[in-house]
Amino acid sequence: METAPHVGSVGQEVLELQQRLLAAGYSPGPMDGIFGKKTLQAVRAFQKDRGLPVTGLVDEITAKALGITLEAGRAILRRVDRRDGRVALTFDDGPNSRYTVKIANALADAGASGTFFFLGSMLESAKFDLSCVCGLGHEPASHGYSHTSFHKLSSAAMEQELAKTEDAIARRCGVRPRFFRPPYGAFDRRVILVARKRGYPFLTLWDVDTRDWTRPGVSRIIATVDKNASSGSIILLHEGYESTLQALGGILRVLKNKGLRPVTLSQLIEGHAD
């Protein structure tokens, strides 16, 4: 498992979580080692009462409050353990005046949702309407402000990048981003710690990289998704390429043929327990 215990997780780690929740006065449901709806409700209640980000995920901050030790890898989200066919299509480096609206509308027309990792600087310079992203069931997320490698910045500069991007997303979309993906997927322990300070319990990466930014061609992009995507996958795409837009229809078809359904990251990690 590559992220914190969450809905759908099973095993000894979840059983220990349930035991700690019960000892703390929160009923997690059956003590069966299965992270179901009752356990999710107990985690959220615990987080709320302790003044922690109410994510429903047992990140290291929540785990520490419960007296549980998690591996360092829990701070990185690459995919989610699911069996119901949900996957996340994620798009980096926007908003892009030529492609963002077309991508968002194409997804909506197909009954699919995506997560858009926006750059704060691009948001501030964008002169077009973003309601297609913020109002059609899609989800805005943070990719930092200037597409700088975070691990090369001071902690103060990282925090400023995140804060400025959060403000830009709030102004354009009316929500605070729930997810952060560091530019280039580059990070170190300081990046994790600063992100947590800003309220992101983990860094969001991916398990399917289409490498669309190398312009491999429409058929290659589609084939990469067809070969590698499975239930719970997080698929990396970018907004600034014609071939990505042209491949989108084919991507949606192969996902459907594989019994997979694109949803937002929020829906991928916990939406089935709503």
Does 127 reside within a domain? Answer: yes
Same domain, yes or no: 209 and 161: yes
Q: What is the pLDDT of residue 2?
A: 44
Same domain, yes or no: 172 and 123: yes
Does 44 reside within a domain? Answer: yes
Does 6 reside within a domain? Answer: no
Residue 234 to residue 170: CA distance in whole angstroms: 24
User: pTM of the prediction?
Assistant: 0.75
Domain total in the chain: 2
Same domain, yes or no: 243 and 187: yes
Divide the 274 residues of the chain into consecutive groups of 10 and give the mean pLDDT of each group.
Answer: 61 81 93 87 94 79 80 72 92 96 96 97 94 90 96 94 97 94 88 89 92 96 97 95 98 98 92 38
Does 80 reside within a domain? Answer: no
Same domain, yes or no: 64 and 99: no
User: At 255, which CATH number?
Assistant: 3.20.20.370
- Residue 56's domain comprises 12-70
Same domain, yes or no: 65 and 102: no
Same domain, yes or no: 164 and 202: yes
